[in-house]
Amino acid sequence: MERLKHRKEKITPFLKSKFEFLKTKYGEQHPYYKGLSLQYFVSDQNTDEKFVLTNLKHYEAGVHIAEEHGFIPGLERLYRRTLVIEPTLVCSAHCQFCLRQNYTQHTLSDELLVDVAKYCGDSKNRDILNEVLITGGDPLLIPAKLEFLINALIRYAPNIRIIRIGSRIMTQCPEKFDASVFSIFSGKSDVRFELGTQLNHPVEFFPEAGEIFDRVNELGIKIYAQNVLLRGVNDDLETLVALYELMRRYNIESHYLFHCCPIVGMQHLRPSIEKSLALVRGLSMGGKISGRAKPMFAAMTDIGKILFYEGTIIKKKGGLLLLRSGYKLSERTDWNPSYEAPASAQVDENGFLTVWYADGVE
């Protein structure tokens, strides 16, 4: 369990101040305090070796953009129309359920960022690639480098019409969302910006975060949020309803509600798929929130995101589920020739990928 021992705790001064406030006002056992603390504090609750991952990343989907570079860290391409770019893996705080703590740390040079932009706009990609997700790490921690990348995309890849930026600094260190960040979105009418974040509990709508969400909305930038279903944080209907109502109040579009990834040491945060599906049904079918606020429930598997529709779960074996995807291996290798299916995946009789995925606990 060597990796469990090395999971790091990194908490911003802003978050520390919120922990102190919540502890003083409510106590450590209150849902507000636990809704935040379970996300950031290292726990020794689970050391079940059955849930050690074979691979250290969400998925292996590196892109070979040019012979002289080989694989550039921080590039992933699983989907036809979108490239994921991670210019840095530095974060302001460590979410304990995030697999990216296992990634090799990097910050890409300006030269490499230009080559990435040229790859996006080359003849093989310009007709099918029209969107990038710039994430990390947290790209808003390096606003100058982020703006350099965006300008390179505008210059070399005019086919990129949508630029999504993923960040949690709004709720982790809102003071960093300063004028240098807001200026990134100015004077670039050729692209549509979308700001993605992650919100897992209503307590994270701090006044400081709310002010940023309001200002971003005033700029006409679409905000969307992914949420992770976590035991003891938000695995009850009342909390989820409050979370999605607040998201709608701030004009934040609901995106994925993820089942917590099977990361070593995190099994105590992973509700079972059966319980998760029951919660999602209650959230989506009980008339408790608007249909405009309902998320898509998904697992982040070794081959990409899989939504839980009828027939998604093919069979169960011990603590594992075999999931059916809509991904064809032949299609994926067409737009990313470097892609190789992981050991946990297999190809069915119709050419679609299936994958084994670790269930949570009751």
Q: What is the pLDDT of residue 333?
A: 92
**pLDDT band at residue 223, thresholds of 50, 70 and 90?**
very high
Q: What is the pLDDT of residue 57?
A: 56
**What average pLDDT does this structure show over 295-303?**
95
pLDDT at 7 over 70: no
Q: What is the pLDDT of residue 66?
A: 67
Q: What is the pLDDT of residue 4?
A: 42
Q: What is the pLDDT of residue 100?
A: 72
Q: What is the pLDDT of residue 362?
A: 78
Lowest mean pLDDT among 29-33, 99-103, 232-236, 343-347: 99-103
pLDDT at 8 over 90: no
Lowest mean pLDDT among 35-49, 85-99, 217-231, 280-294: 35-49
Domains of the chain: 2-309 (3.20.20.70)
Higher-pLDDT residue of 103 and 232 is 232
pLDDT at 117 over 70: yes
Query: How high is the mean pLDDT of the chain?
Result: 91
Q: What is the pLDDT of residue 73?
A: 81
**What average pLDDT does this structure show over 257-276?**
91
- Report the candidate in 19, 22, 34 with the shortest Cα–Cα distance to residue 236: 34
Tens digit of each residue's pLDDT (9 = 90 or more) over 167-191: 999 999 999 999 999 999 999 988 9
pLDDT at 5 over 60: no
pLDDT at 47 over 70: no
Q: What is the pLDDT of residue 78?
A: 86
pLDDT at 6 over 60: no
pLDDT at 263 over 90: no
Tens digit of each residue's pLDDT (9 = 90 or more) over 51-84: 444 445 556 677 777 655 567 788 888 888 999 9
pLDDT at 1 over 50: no
**pLDDT band at residue 2, thresholds of 50, 70 and 90?**
very low
Q: What is the pLDDT of residue 60?
A: 67
Q: What is the pLDDT of residue 52?
A: 45
pTM (two decimals) = 0.92
pLDDT at 152 over 70: yes
Q: What is the pLDDT of residue 264?
A: 77
pLDDT at 163 over 90: yes
pLDDT at 156 over 50: yes
Higher-pLDDT residue of 136 and 244 is 244
**pLDDT band at residue 324, thresholds of 50, 70 and 90?**
very high
Q: What is the pLDDT of residue 43?
A: 80
Of all residues in the chain, what percent carry a pLDDT higher than 90?
A: 77
